[in-house]
Structure 1
């Protein structure tokens, strides 16, 4: 496997785990995950017992983004890990559609799984979130203090897992040759952020439950047989790559934080109002997010690794333009009426307007590249041929080389005419450029392998097939005048790109932060659009052990009704002064599983901050969700 291959793919998750004994029968499971889609690292830990370890591992896998067959997964463990733990790590999830293939488990040296190794790895890495608005040259002591404020460095299990993760990422990112080492010597491991998330503030739900209920689709977002198969598919109106990633993260980590959820609900309500008052602007914004905002984090990571292709530069130019030129009220200039947005949309607009790095990067790309003046066919051809269209006037040397390249056919024609007039007996001569050798005169051989006639001053260089190659005064003059203009042109373009890369990466932290904000806006708009289109209402969230749903509906089943059909709503009341348990019975096909799924899906919707399909909804926050339902036809 090529160096770095494990962490380059934007659809890869690397999960590292560590077990630390706490007391008789109790262990703490630490986990650290690297998500290549946004270059983030998440750390957590959970107390469990040996008997509950299989469920705890399933839960951690779900929270860390493991579980979709469309994602490549590597699990990292210590070489000293117990055999039964390694078997559990490799075991496929119960989730329907997992295919039963075991996960790829990599064992790293036990010494890597330590708090000291984790801290050293973090201090050696470049963490963009720590660079926002501050110099990247902070001392190690300052960075250490910032990290201690970001994650709990005293959580032994989490830090041990983090040490193993960073050791694996560092080894995967290491160059495999001296040549690569020279090219990547300045490219340390780059992370967008390192964040701790608490399972205590997350609805515990393993992947099997999430897939069985229809929260996510194990085989990817979509519909099956004309039916919306999951909440992920229902809410897939989030069109940007970052928006889709955030949506999936919310669905796999429903929150138990009432304050956070009410802020999201406020934002959804605000977006719904904006859709009524300024539908055209919202439509334009959704179109821009869907079509023009690409995976900025991955694009910047490719640039940082000197792997950016012409298509990547074009997508970054398109993305920065779309983020910068938002419709009125969403970051663009607004009239008084259009500016009457709430705090969420106003904060997004302010973030965009105050982002100096965004405007600088866009102006730089717009000045250097001519993507905007090219037709679609020209752009397609440039991307296919890996040509980066740098504007004329950006670099005088580049312009001179381009003119020289355009004149090459004339130089060759003129030289051939000179040879023909100088040597009348010379026939069938051609001029070819051979790398390392320069321009040579090619002559066809006769049946004996010799050219019919060769001037005395021609110097034989080599033979190939039925042709012989010679050097002469005229070919040497071409070497001086034209030379390897194609290589010189390519080298000059690469030098310009390296300079552009440096300027862009100065603003990498700000661009990643903006991409995250735009992605969250995308999700909120998707939730608002579904709420408006499907008649959802805002739920009231409490900390009481009570759920009261009046005339609630199954969010997926009602999307699959034929024209004219209507989903018959149900009322569900649990807890408080009412019984906490309902014993539901009935014949096969009477709708028992539909009702159970309906309740579970509505709770998940509420706890990601979404409106819900009901006439009234009061939901006491749930901290665990279990299900053995596996049938997808309910």
Structure 2
């Protein structure tokens, strides 16, 4: 006989009904004070969260207290899970049947706003991509800050934008799954959207409805059809995941491709801008980031991702950095004050979403006070630059005053029953009266107790309280019954005492309980009214937040410039690059004394020094010189001072690099294939103002092929009508004579001194070529066995001798060919003479 299936309980049926609507999520199902998790979700959560897994009626079960959600939810999101939060929508005490429940929020990696999940100085972007033929529309939204971006570009530049924004989640349409799987598989968390949602009219209406405008012309995006579709998909996604309180998303910004330097994702990786290739390495952003506020830290990364190519704008940043460097008062003041400003961008988003705490709101008031101080000190400076910054800061005193007049100083994190201490006295007369009654209950009970003692002549009466009876009078069991008044109602008899209630005591109890709830609801009402008033001025807060972020970044630039002896570069519209005593900002940090670092000069121009071919042994510093030059250019265009004694930098609109090599095994690409792909990308996307660094092109294949490819690439760049300035590092000595045939190629090499059987890397670039690669010496100092080194020397000597023999044979062969050619010409001439005669 088959075992009879157990009947599904009403609670489990309700859970299953809701779960069926969110099959691809973990459903957190509120049951009283706990979030319960059932079935496969419970198994998964027990592993991820390390919580107890149990089994009841053949159903797996796990859970955690509701108040712990801020601790557990980030762990689920970081694991890459989507989480639907299903809350009780009514008070259980008021409902005799099953409590109504519903999903109030769906949290995904791209929509997280929890402080425990978010990185303080990093954005958390949600990306949406729409592709038609060879063109794409892209949109990026950080719901935690309200930043919303839109762009259209060539399809092949998807990875470029994804590298810059590094989204936590990427949305794309289902019919493009195969394309995106090949492109970004395992790199980003992705989510498939139904194809019909990628509709222009639907998206346009979504955007205009959200921004409450008739068109999108005011944002400058009216003609970005594909970008509008991508942006509309994001807003639709927010709606479908129950994120409807998004008033802080108050604008959408077009990424102006023509206004920023182009740096491909290969170059960001090879220059180690945001992440070091080595586990214990340091990235450029770690050196440059001396920001104090979270907004400043995020803006710095944005500036580095999108360096400017507008000289006026770049020079304005340089000028502000110089002003800060020269003004000790401002610099010290900024450093002191910025550390007390909270993350206003994310506070504003919490206000809009309705998840701001009283303490966070009061801290906003403190931040606004400091911003007012910053405004005042800028306005009293002599510098027009500082005065202009001061004037740009909006006055927020009215917001700050509204907060202090409504919220108590040092308020708690939450408004709770029985703890009526958030709203300031005097805001509400009704609230003040209820509080007086609520907090004077002890005095009232003391008076009531005294009254009963006088009435009954029972001196040992006590007033007690428990959850079953509420308030009660308690007397000893041996008290004379004749003294107990008739209006006392007995409720409980214990071993040594008896408990009674009275109508007056019960009326007071009912009144107090109602007041407690009323105080709680009224405090929340006043608090949310304050939030709504602040929301009306959300754009002012966002504007001031951006100004503070800019001040913070420019202060960071001045700090690193003073600490590391950086100089202000001279920017111009030429295509010439001159750097005197340039240094690598990351590498020099590894030296205890800056005097140990060997600086180098670089000169490049289109007239007579377009391409520098740099030779030298491994470990001599060729790659470092290439990288430092690209990084110095990048830093200058971002608006920062640079590690050099002097620099004149013509405007660069693209930086390309082919440095280092790594297999892309997941896509079946070898080292050489990756190298060729990256090189092809460079050669196909050159501009008049491009700067290239190429390291060991062709080394991934045989020597003859490699030399041929390297030489061909150099010839291509030299003869190209755009003449891109280039630094080319190589081991191929066959390239050293190219400067003879090509007038704009110059040879440099890294100086090496040989002392007995050892060599010393001088790290200094000098004109000319390197005669030796010193590969065996490098192998020796790496710890290679002595026997291997000796054998290598023998083989090298043999190879050199064989090479010399071959060179002699080639020489004799050429001489013979010359003689033969001369003989043939002479015979022809004699024959012609005889024929003519």
Equivalent residues in 2 for 1:286-305, closer than 5 Å: 286-289=335-338, 291-305=339-353
SS at match of 2:609: coil
Distance 1:614 1:348 in 2: 29
SS at match of 2:292: coil
Equivalent residues in 2 for 1:474-489, closer than 5 Å: 474-479=504-509, 481-489=511-519
Distance 1:218 1:507 in 2: 41
Note if 1:350 corresponds to 2:391: yes
SS at match of 1:307: coil
- Deviates further, 388-397 or 453-462: 453-462
The normalised TM-score by structure 1 is 0.76
Alpha-carbon contact 2:357-2:414 (below 8 Å) kept: no
- Shift in CA distance, 351/255, structure 1 to aligned 2, threshold 3 Å: closer
Residue 373 of structure 2 aligns with which residue? 325
Distance 1:304 1:231 in 2: 35
Residue 409 of structure 1 aligns with which residue? 442
Residue 341 of structure 1 aligns with which residue? 383
- Shift in CA distance, 385/158, structure 1 to aligned 2, threshold 3 Å: closer
Alpha-carbon offset, residue 599 of structure 1 = 1.4
Equivalent residues in 2 for 1:435-446, closer than 5 Å: 439-441=470-472
Q: For each residue in 1:406-447, what CA deviation from the matched residue of structure 2 results, as whole angstroms up to 9, or x when unmatched?
A: 32233334445556676789999654375xx9944387999x
Alpha-carbon offset, residue 611 of structure 1 = 1.4
Distance 1:86 1:529 in 2: 44
Distance 1:259 1:293 in 2: 30
In terms of Rg, which structure is larger?
2
Equivalent residues in 2 for 1:238-387, closer than 5 Å: 238-273=291-326, 275=327, 279-289=328-338, 291-326=339-374, 329-331=377-379, 334=380, 339-343=381-385, 345-352=386-393, 355-356=394-395, 358-371=396-409, 379=410, 382-383=412-413
Q: For each residue in 1:216-264, what CA deviation from the matched residue of structure 2 results, as whole angstroms up to 9, or x when unmatched?
A: 2379xxx987x8x223222222211211111111112222333322222
Alpha-carbon offset, residue 321 of structure 1 = 0.6
Residue 180 of structure 2 aligns with which residue? 85
Equivalent residues in 2 for 1:126-165, closer than 5 Å: 126=211, 143-145=213-215, 147-165=216-234
Alpha-carbon contact 2:578-2:647 (below 8 Å) kept: yes
Alpha-carbon offset, residue 316 of structure 1 = 0.6
Q: Which has the higher contact order (CA 8 A, sep 6+)?
A: 1
Note if 1:619 corresponds to 2:649: yes
**Structure 2 unaligned runs (5+)?**
1-83, 86-104, 119-123, 478-482, 663-762, 764-837
Residue 161 of structure 2 aligns with which residue? 60
The normalised TM-score by structure 2 is 0.59
Distance 2:585 2:384 in 1: 28
Residue 472 of structure 1 aligns with which residue? 502
- Shift in CA distance, 440/599, structure 1 to aligned 2, threshold 3 Å: same
Distance 2:249 2:499 in 1: 54
Residue in structure 2 matching 1:606, options 629, 636, 660? 636
Residue 141 of structure 2 aligns with which residue? 34
Instruction: Give the total of aligned pairs.
Output: 541
Distance 1:487 1:438 in 2: 19
Residue 69 of structure 1 aligns with which residue? none
Distance 1:4 1:604 in 2: 40
Alpha-carbon contact 1:62-1:205 (below 8 Å) kept: no
Distance 2:276 2:434 in 1: 53
Residue 137 of structure 1 aligns with which residue? none
Residue in structure 2 matching 1:125, options 210, 218, 223? 210
Alpha-carbon offset, residue 208 of structure 1 = 5.5
Distance 2:448 2:276 in 1: 66
Note if 1:546 corresponds to 2:576: yes
Alpha-carbon contact 2:321-2:554 (below 8 Å) kept: yes
- Shift in CA distance, 255/114, structure 1 to aligned 2, threshold 3 Å: farther
Distance 1:511 1:196 in 2: 21
Q: For each residue in 1:603-624, what CA deviation from the matched residue of structure 2 results, as whole angstroms up to 9, or x when unmatched?
A: 2101211111112212231313
Alpha-carbon offset, residue 61 of structure 1 = 0.5
- Shift in CA distance, 572/431, structure 1 to aligned 2, threshold 3 Å: same
Alpha-carbon offset, residue 17 of structure 1 = 0.4
Alpha-carbon contact 2:583-2:598 (below 8 Å) kept: yes
Alpha-carbon offset, residue 31 of structure 1 = 0.7
Q: For each residue in 1:342-365, what CA deviation from the matched residue of structure 2 results, as whole angstroms up to 9, or x when unmatched?
A: 33x22221122xx34x12101212
Distance 2:195 2:474 in 1: 67
**Structure 1 unaligned runs (5+)?**
22-26, 67-72, 93-102, 127-139, 175-183, 372-378, 447-452
Alpha-carbon contact 1:170-1:189 (below 8 Å) kept: no
Distance 1:284 1:473 in 2: 65
Distance 1:244 1:626 in 2: 26
SS at match of 1:365: helix
Alpha-carbon offset, residue 44 of structure 1 = 0.8
Note if 1:569 corresponds to 2:611: no
Distance 2:546 2:575 in 1: 34
Residue 433 of structure 2 aligns with which residue? 400
- Shift in CA distance, 590/193, structure 1 to aligned 2, threshold 3 Å: same
- Shift in CA distance, 172/626, structure 1 to aligned 2, threshold 3 Å: farther
Residue in structure 1 matching 2:259, options 166, 178, 201? 201
Alpha-carbon contact 2:248-2:348 (below 8 Å) kept: no
Distance 1:301 1:84 in 2: 34
Alpha-carbon offset, residue 462 of structure 1 = 11
Residue in structure 2 matching 1:5, options 107, 121, 133? 107
- Shift in CA distance, 563/491, structure 1 to aligned 2, threshold 3 Å: same
Residue 179 of structure 1 aligns with which residue? none
